[in-house]
Amino acid sequence: MKKIWLGLPLLSLLALPVAAQEKQEKEEKEDKVESRVENAGKVFKEILNAPDSIPQDVLDKADCVVILPSVLKFAIGFGGSYGRGVMTCRAGDNFRGPWGPPTMMALEGGSAGLQLGGNATDFVLLLMSPRSATSMLSSKVKLGGDASAAAGPVGRTASAESDVGLRAEILSYSRARGLFAGISLEGSTLRADNSANKKLYGKEIMASEIVFKHAAQVPPSAKLLLATLQKASPKNKSTNK
C-alpha cells in the first residue's frame, strides 16, 4: 500500500508534460494562424520598446528573427517547452534585402535551461548566420547541437562582437512577468511548421520557398511585425557574409 501511495505523486509529475502538450495542441486547433502572426508582431514591438532590450548592434547583424509568443513551459526535474510562432528573414542574396514574409515555426523538446516552473513565456531567437537559417528551414534543428546557441546579450549598447556573439549561430531571449533576459534553449528543437503555412497562405507551401524563392506575399497579419523590424533594423550590417 505504501508503494502505491508513493508512486502516485511520481505518476502525476510524469503526466504534466503530456498534459502541457495536449493543452498546447488544443489551443492550436482553436486558434487561428493569423492571430499567432499578429501576436508575434505585438510581442516583438513591445520588446523593442522596452528600455533594456535587444542590443541594436546585435539586431542589425541578424539574418532572421524567430518570435514564439506564450511558449508553454514546465519543470519537474527537467525542463520542457511547447510553442508555435513565426520566423522572418531578410530577403535577397546573403540576407541583404528587406524583411520578408513569415514562415510558421514550432518549438519542442526539453532542456535543463528551461526549469523555470510552469508558465508561459515569450521567446525571441536571432539567427546570426546563413547556415542556421538554411538548416532550420530544411529540417528540425536541435539548439546547441545542430546549431550553436547561446543566451543573447541584453542592453541597447551591448555589442554583437562579444565572445558569445562571435561563437553562437543563434542568440535566444525570453520575456516572462515583464522581465526580459537572455536564456539558454539548448536541447530544444525548432522546425518549420508547414501545416500552419498552408493555413496562413491558403496553399501547400514549404518554408524554404517562402524565404528563398519569394513564393508568397506578405499576409495582412504580418504587417505590424515586418514594419516594426524594417523600422528597427532596415539594413543587415553583418560582415560574416
Please tell me what DSSP assigns to residue 129.
S
Residue 95 φ/ψ, nearest 5 degrees: 60, 45
Residue with cell string 546563413: 130
What percent of the chain is predicted at pLDDT more than 70? Answer: 73
Report strand pairing: 149-151 vs 103-109. Answer: unpaired
- With contact defined as beta carbons under 8 Å apart, do 176 and 122 qualify? yes
> Cα torsion for 132, 138, 141, 145, to the nearest 10°?
-60
- With contact defined as beta carbons under 8 Å apart, do 136 and 92 qualify? no
Interatomic CA distance for residues 77 and 209, integer angstroms: 40
Confidence (pTM): 0.80
The per-residue pLDDT for 144 is 78
From the centroid of its chain, how far is CA 60?
A: 17
Interatomic CA distance for residues 238 and 241, integer angstroms: 7
> Among the residues of the chain, which ranges form H helices?
2-30, 33-49, 56-59, 130-138, 163-167, 194-201, 207-212, 223-232
Least confident among 27-31, 112-116, 230-234:
112-116
- The top-scoring range by mean pLDDT among 80-84, 199-203, 212-216 is 199-203
